[in-house]
Chains A and B, each alone.
Chain A
Amino acid sequence: MNLDETDKKILATIQTGIPLVSNPFFVIGGMLGISEEDVIRRLKKLKWDGALRRVGATLNKSELGKEGTLVAMKVPEEKIDSVAEIINSYDEVTHNYVRSSVDGKVDFNLWFTITGTKERILQVIEEIKEKVDEDYPLLNLPANKTFKIGVKFDIR
Chain B
Amino acid sequence: MDDIEEKLIGKLYNIPFKKRPFQEIAKSLDMTEEEVISRIEKLTDEGKIRRLGGLIAHRAIGITANAMCMWNVPEDKVEEIGKLMASFDEVTHCYERKNPWGYNIFTMVHSYEREECKEIIERISKATGITDYSIMFSDRELKKV
A40 proximity list for chain B (CB < 8 A) = 17-19
Kindly state whether residue A79 has any CB partner on chain B within 8 Å: no
SS of A interface (majority): mixed
Could you give, for residues 51-82 of chain B, a 1 whenever the CB lies within 8 Å of some chain A CB and a 0 otherwise?
A: 11111111011110010101000000010001
| A-B CB pair tally, cutoff 8 Å | 226
Flag the segment in A116-124, A125-133, A141-149 that touches B: A141-149
Asked whether A106 lies within 8 Å of B70 as measured between CB atoms, the reply is yes
Distance in angstroms between the alpha carbons of A100 and B54 in the assembled complex: 30
Q: Are B61 and A1 in contact (CB under 8 A)?
A: yes
Q: What does the 1/0 interface line of A23-44 toward B look like (CB < 8 Å)?
A: 1111000000000100010011
Cα-based distance from A23 to B49 in the complex (angstroms): 20
State which size class the interface on B falls in.
Answer: 35 or more
Partner of B61, one of A3, A26, A110: A3
B19 adjacent to A139 (CB under 8 Å): no
Q: What are the residues of chain A within 8 A of B14 when measuring CB–CB?
A: 54-56
Let me know if B139 and A98 touch, CB within 8 A: yes
Question: Using Cβ atoms and an 8 Å threshold, which residues of chain A touch B126?
Answer: none
Are B98 and A150 interface neighbours, CB within 8 A? no
* Contact present for A59 and B48 (CB under 8 Å): yes
Residues 28-51 of B at the A interface (beta carbon under 8 Å): 33, 37, 40-41, 43-44, 46-51
Give the CA-CA distance A151 to B46 in the complex, in Å: 21
* CA distance in complex: A64, B52 (Å): 17
Q: Which of A51, A95, A155 contacts B143 (CB 8 A)?
A: A95
Cβ contact within 8 Å between A56 and B143:
no
CA distance A94 to B143 in the complex (A): 7
Interface contacts beyond A20-B44, A55-B55, A149-B92: sample of 15 additional A-B pairs, CB < 8 Å, sorted by A: A53-B55, A53-B56, A55-B53, A57-B9, A80-B142, A95-B144, A97-B140, A100-B137, A101-B136, A105-B101, A143-B95, A143-B106, A147-B82, A148-B86, A154-B111
Q: A interface vs B, CB < 8 Å?
A: 1, 3, 11, 14-18, 20-26, 36, 40, 43-44, 47, 49-60, 63-64, 70, 72, 80, 84, 87-88, 93-103, 105-106, 110-112, 139, 141-156
